[in-house]
Amino acid sequence: MNLLPYSPNNIEEIKQLFTKVFSDSEGQSEGLLIGNLAYDLMTGTDVQDLYGFVAIENEKIIGSIFFTRLTFEGDVNAFLLSPVAIHTNYQGKGIGQKLINFGINHLKENGVGLVFTYGDSKFYSKVGFSLIPEKLVKAPLTLTYPEGWLGQSLLGDEIEPITGDSYCVEPLNKPEYW
């Protein structure tokens, strides 16, 4: 298996991966929603605000993740991990963890200090994320499940409180994702 940055040549294959994975687990409407989100991130986000990575086996993309800039009123270099998809036939084999760790290492090398995500704390705690109370760091939109707001410092220290609002990239700036 190879882990590497995504290529714009693979936009359609990545969109189909997200659509299939989320259709399999959450139903067709959720699959279409997240497939379109992945497409919108790849086609509608400034290059300096987007990191995308893929896992490839036998020349097929079996996993993909995206990190997009999370902006705060102060001088904070942060990104948001979302969405994440591992092909249904490859889930439970540690590929998601390897891909996320690969991406996080890439962010560290590029000077990113904080990473946040919104999801299953049981899964994301395996790759260093922990619960972040919104009084410590405010999410960009109202959270349906506040226990899913997670973060980690890439600098090896505790996450200090960040005052003010946070802002995600435009494709994620929709209540249905939160």
The residues with which 60 forms a beta bridge, in sequence order, are 57
**Distance between CA atoms of 102 and 153, rounded to whole angstroms?**
16
Q: Where are the domains of the chain?
A: 2-177
DSSP 68: E
* Residue that the structure tokens 């102060």 belong to: 74
60-117 pLDDT, tens per residue?
A: 999 999 999 999 988 899 999 999 999 999 999 999 999 999 999 999 999 999 999 9
**Distance between CA atoms of 175 and 67, rounded to whole angstroms?**
18
Q: Which CATH number fits domain 2-177: 2.60.40.10, 1.20.1050.140, 3.30.300.30, 3.40.630.30?
A: 3.40.630.30
Q: What's the pLDDT score for residue 117?
A: 98
Mean pLDDT of the chain: 96
Q: Can you give the pTM of this predicted structure?
A: 0.95
